[in-house]
């Protein structure tokens, strides 16, 4: 079991280019697992955690409803945004500047074989990170992600999640709003959930800008603790 994780910060990168890169890493891990099984060998499978910030883009999960995108192609273009229908779970979400997107590409057989536990660990890494900023966040029953004021009329999501897994290898991941222009969420029904707001860390803290690199450091720390892993 290889509990070492290669950490890569891709900076600002387009969605398609990043998706293609994820798919390449994902396929390499899956292919190695298939080869191990076929040849009855036991080569270590690698693990990755990618951080990235995307230009304005809306993505729709495989079970999502296109009607949750409230813009036409021309309106998308006018807003400088793109749209992709992709192969993760979940419905529609927005990625853009000021958001920390994390894509763990893990062979869960190196850690544990439980997708629900995996999602809870991703949520917990964000919950613990935000607690360091004095925010009490939690899960919302039946709604993946991290929320504030769950169970009240003021419930609002601060981190969206959607993953894909095959042969226990994961891709896609989480998107934490840190310094996001929340107006872009007005153009969708986020995650297909009506009547609930979206927020950003800087808004919750009442500041103009939060240090995104500091947030990433905190996410990394909690991610490693939860998965009992180390970065290489």
Tens digits of residue pLDDT in 2-18: 999 999 999 999 999 99
Q: What integer pLDDT is reported at residue 194 of this predicted model?
A: 65
pLDDT digits 0-9 by tens, 154-195: 999 999 999 999 999 999 999 999 999 999 999 998 666 666
- Per-residue confidence (pLDDT) for residue 232, from 0 to 100: 92
- Confidence (pLDDT) at 51: 98
pLDDT reported for residue 191:
61
Pick the CATH number of 4-231 from 3.90.330.10, 3.40.50.720, 3.55.40.20, 3.30.930.10: 3.30.930.10
144-162 tens-digit pLDDT: 899 999 999 999 999 999 9
Task: Locate the domains of the chain by residue range.
Answer: 4-231
232 is in an annotated binding site: no
Pick the catalytic residue from 191, 212, 215, 229: 191
- 231 assigned ligand-binding residue: no
pTM, two decimal places = 0.96
Active site residue 159: no
Residue 35's CB is within 10 A of a number of other CB atoms, namely 11
Check whether 92 is labelled as a binding-site residue: yes
Flag residues of the chain having pLDDT under 70: 190-195
Instruction: Tell me what pLDDT residue 89 has.
Output: 83
| Cβ-based neighbours of 19, under 8 Å, separated by 6 or more | 84, 86
Ramachandran category for residue 16: left, alpha or beta (phi over 0 → left; psi -120 to 50 → alpha): alpha
Q: Note the pLDDT of residue 140.
A: 92
């Amino acid at each position: 079991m290889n509990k070492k994780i290669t950490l890569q910060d891709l900076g600002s990168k387009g969605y398609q280019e990043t998706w293609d890169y994820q798919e390449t890493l994902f396929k390499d891990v899956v292919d190695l697992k298939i080869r191990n099984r076929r040849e009855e060998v036991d080569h270590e499978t690698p693990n990755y955690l990618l951080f990235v910030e995307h230009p304005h883009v809306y993505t729709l999960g495989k079970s999502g409803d296109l009607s949750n995108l409230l813009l036409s192609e021309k309106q998308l273009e006018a807003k400088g945004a793109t749209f992709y229908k992709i192969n993760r779970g979940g419905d529609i979400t927005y990625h853009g500047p000021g958001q920390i997107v994390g894509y763990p590409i893990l062979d869960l057989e190196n850690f544990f074989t439980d997708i629900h536990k995996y999602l809870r660990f991703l949520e917990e890494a964000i919950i613990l990170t935000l607690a360091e900023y004095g925010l009490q966040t939690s899960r919302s029953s039946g709604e993946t992600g991290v929320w504030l004021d769950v169970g009240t009329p003021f419930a609002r999501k601060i981190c969206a999640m959607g993953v894909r897994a095959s042969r226990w290898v994961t891709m896609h991941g989480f998107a934490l709003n840190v310094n996001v222009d929340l107006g872009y969420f007005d153009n969708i029904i986020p995650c297909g959930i009506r009547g609930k707001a979206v927020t950003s860390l800087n808004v919750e803290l009442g500041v103009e800008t939060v240090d995104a690199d500091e947030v990433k450091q905190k996410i990394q720390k909690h991610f490693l603790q939860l998965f009992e892993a180390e970065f290489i």
